[in-house]
């Protein structure tokens, strides 16, 4: 995925979100390239747990754009959105006869880039 950096774009980054990157990627694919208002509507009505942190991140990126670049939130579009794998929390679940069963709890890093529609 290639991004062309312009002066009128801002980003927001959330690290170590406690969910699988595959589950977050499923939601991110639905909002990439949409306008800010469309993305908010889509995320509000999708039934996935990954929607809430992504919704917070999009509103943070929009606030960054309006505060730092004086861009109206209605003129924003989601230029880029990506999800990367984060570190894995390794835990053990006790099982029969004193054995320990390994459990891996994945995390992910989510990046949202918003820019001016023009």
Phi first, then psi, for residue 12 (nearest 5°) are: -135, 140
Q: What is the pLDDT of residues 57-96, one digit of tens each?
A: 999 999 999 998 888 888 899 999 999 999 999 999 999 9
What token pair was written down for 52? 């809430």
CA dihedral 57, 58, 64, 66 (to 10 degrees): -160
Helices (H), 4-115: 21-31, 36-45, 51-68
pLDDT in tens, 91-113: 999 999 999 999 999 999 999 99
Extents of the domains making up the chain: 10-116
| Euclidean distance between CA atoms 58 and 11, whole angstroms | 9
Architecture of domain 10-116 in this structure: Alpha-Beta Complex (3.90)
């Amino acid at each position: 995925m290639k991004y062309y950096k312009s002066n009128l774009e801002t980003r927001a980054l959330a690290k170590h979100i406690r969910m699988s990157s595959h589950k977050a990627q499923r939601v991110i694919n639905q909002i990439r390239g949409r306008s800010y208002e469309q993305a908010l509507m889509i995320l509000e009505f999708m039934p996935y747990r990954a929607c809430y942190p992504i919704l917070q991140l999009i509103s943070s990126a929009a606030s960054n754009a309006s505060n730092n670049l004086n861009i109206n939130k209605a003129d924003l579009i989601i230029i880029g959105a990506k999800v990367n794998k984060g570190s894995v929390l390794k835990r053990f679940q006790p099982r029969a006869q004193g054995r320990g069963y390994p459990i891996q709890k994945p995390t992910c890093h989510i990046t949202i880039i918003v820019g001016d529609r023009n």
